[in-house]
Amino acid sequence: MLLDVISYDLKNVSERIDSGNRCSCFTKYGEIWKIKEGLIQPDKQRFYYASQYLSFGDYDNSCYIERSNVRVFKETFKDSKDWLEIKGDYGSISIYIDVTTENKEIIEIIEFFLDGQIQIDEDDCNLMEIELCDKEWNDGDEVIGIISKKYDFFDIEVTDKDKFRNWFENLSEQKNIYWKIQSGGIPYINYQKVLEDIDDIEKETSEFFKIEK
């Protein structure tokens, strides 16, 4: 069972109640949580294991990898009763795994984490990274604002969103400036640096911008 893998004595789990329904004990393997009565099962107290790689929030150290891992885990084990999804403040989501589970695939994932590997599915991680950047791009509002201010344009109408995005991504690649996913899953790129030293901005953007001066 999972408890054998994480090698932890449940007697050491604190009885301190956090938020009225759960308590935790940090270990080098992750966290052990005791779900207090009333939250999940009225007549039982069960122990669950939480890994940092199966948990994320808007204001923590999580990145796109943790978000992908949670998504893949939920889809892979959607029919299993050996885990819980707990939602908290600030967009946080954590997967709690019953320490008595005998599910070999779930146990293999935890062993995978303990062995220093952190991506459950590399393809999904790549997809998650793209999705987060797409969300932050937000139709290029930041880029439009910088160009308008820098070149004193009164208004910019985007006539082709795809060409606009491709132009910016190609420009950033030429300058070796790339998106970075920061803690909390927030993408960042130095827009100002990417948009430096453009010889003729109107010519550069004529295929996808309608500029009013």
For 180-195, the three-class secondary structure string (H helix, E strand, C coil) is EEEHHHEEECCHHHHC
Q: Please say whether the beta carbons of 36 and 22 come within 8 A.
A: yes
Residues 82, 15 share a domain:
yes
Q: What is the pTM of this model?
A: 0.78
Residues 91, 133 share a domain:
no
Residues 109, 6 share a domain:
yes
For residue 31, the model assigns a pLDDT of: 54
Residues 68, 11 share a domain:
yes
Residues 71, 35 share a domain:
yes
Q: How many domains does the chain have?
A: 2
**Residue 175 DSSP SS3:** coil
Residues 140, 110 share a domain:
no
Please give the residue that has the higher pLDDT: either 35 or 210: 210
pLDDT tens per residue, range 151-163: 999 999 999 999 9
Average pLDDT over residues 2-13: 60
Range of the domain at 136: 128-212
Residues 72, 170 share a domain:
no
Residues 140, 71 share a domain:
no
- C-alpha 203/C-alpha 181 separation (Å) is 32
What amino acid is encoded at 154 in this protein? F
Residues 166, 109 share a domain:
no
For 15-45, give one letter per residue: b (16+ CB within 10 A) or e: eeeeeeebbeeeeeebbbbbbbeeebeeeee
Residues 137, 116 share a domain:
no
For residue 23, the model assigns a pLDDT of: 42
* Residue 70 CA, distance from chain mean position: 9
Residues 136, 99 share a domain:
no
Residues 153, 109 share a domain:
no
For residue 49, the model assigns a pLDDT of: 81
Nearest by Cα to 184 from 60, 94, 31: 60
Residue 192 has pLDDT above 90, yes or no: yes
Provide the percentage of residues in the chain whose pLDDT is more than 90: 57
pLDDT tens per residue, range 171-185: 999 999 999 999 899
Q: Please say whether the beta carbons of 32 and 130 come within 8 A.
A: no
